[in-house]
Amino acid sequence: MAADSLTPTGRVVLGMLALGSNTGYDIKQMVDKATRHFWAVSYGQLYPELRRLEQHGLIRGRPEPTGGRSRKVYELTDAGTRALRAWLGANEEPLYEVRDEGLLKLFFSEAQPEVRIEILRAIHERMERKLAQLEALGTPTKSGPGMTLSLGIAITKAYLKWCDEAARHLVKE
């Protein structure tokens, strides 16, 4: 399996294993703790992907039950390490996608000022919640894992600031 046929979730798996995750559950925990605000993964995608990657020889798994509880520990193979490096080193334009239903509503609600204010309030609330979640995750730093966190926080704050301005403007009208 070449690096370019690595699925998005496959990349996350390789990356997390490289950073020290062991099991599928473990990877999911890491994702939820560290990357979920810019890259989410669900179990329904994760477990099939683990099997797929193993079939393709990028990872290797061995059963390591905890008592009677089934548990499978994975590690990168050499091919897997190469595939990960190849992806990290490839300088294609990285994917960047946003889907923001709140903005979409705002965009379509032009003719209804009452609804508009309500929508803006909902967006604001959502972002407040997001900010709280991010801040609960740990300390933003200038390097290491806290680095991406600091971006998330910066962006959320910029978003909130925009909300405030927009709300002020709407009320004035």
Partner DNA sequence: AGGTGCATGTAACAGGTTACATGATTAA
Partner DNA sequence: TTAATCATGTAACCTGTTACATGCACCT
DSSP-derived 3-state class of residue 63: strand
* Among 44, 89, 94, 144, contact with DNA (rule: CB under 7 A): 44
Under the binding rule (CB under 7 A), the answer on residue 133 touching DNA is no
Binding to DNA by residue 8, rule CB under 7 A? yes
Rounded to the nearest angstrom, the gap between the alpha carbon of residue 18 and the centroid of all alpha carbons in its chain is 17
Type of residue at 101: E
Cβ neighbour number for residue 109 with a 10 Å cutoff: 16
| Residues facing residue 63 across a β-bridge | 72
Q: Least CB distance from residue 141 to DNA, whole Å?
A: 24
Tokens 């730093």 — which residue?
141
Q: How far is the CB of 94 from DNA (least distance, A)?
A: 13
Shortest distance, CB of residue 50 to a second copy, whole angstroms? 17
Binding mask 22-41 for DNA (x = CB under 7 A): -xxxx--x----------xx
Binding stretches for a second copy (CB under 8 A): 8, 11-12, 14-16, 18-19, 34-35, 37-40, 84-85, 87-89, 91, 93-112, 115, 118-119, 122-123, 126, 130, 142-145, 147-148, 150-151, 154-155, 157-159, 161-162, 165-166, 169-170, 173
Which residues contact residue 121 at a Cβ distance below 8 angstroms, ignoring those fewer than 6 apart? 167
Give yes or no for a contact between 127 and 159, defined as CB atoms under 8 angstroms apart: yes
Q: Under a CB-based contact definition with an 8 Å cutoff, are residues 102 and 119 in contact?
A: yes
Nearer residue to DNA within complex by CB, 80 or 163:
80
Neighbour tally for 101: CB within 10 Å: 11
Contacts to DNA by CB under 7 A: 7-9, 23-26, 29, 40-45, 47-48, 50-51, 66-72, 99
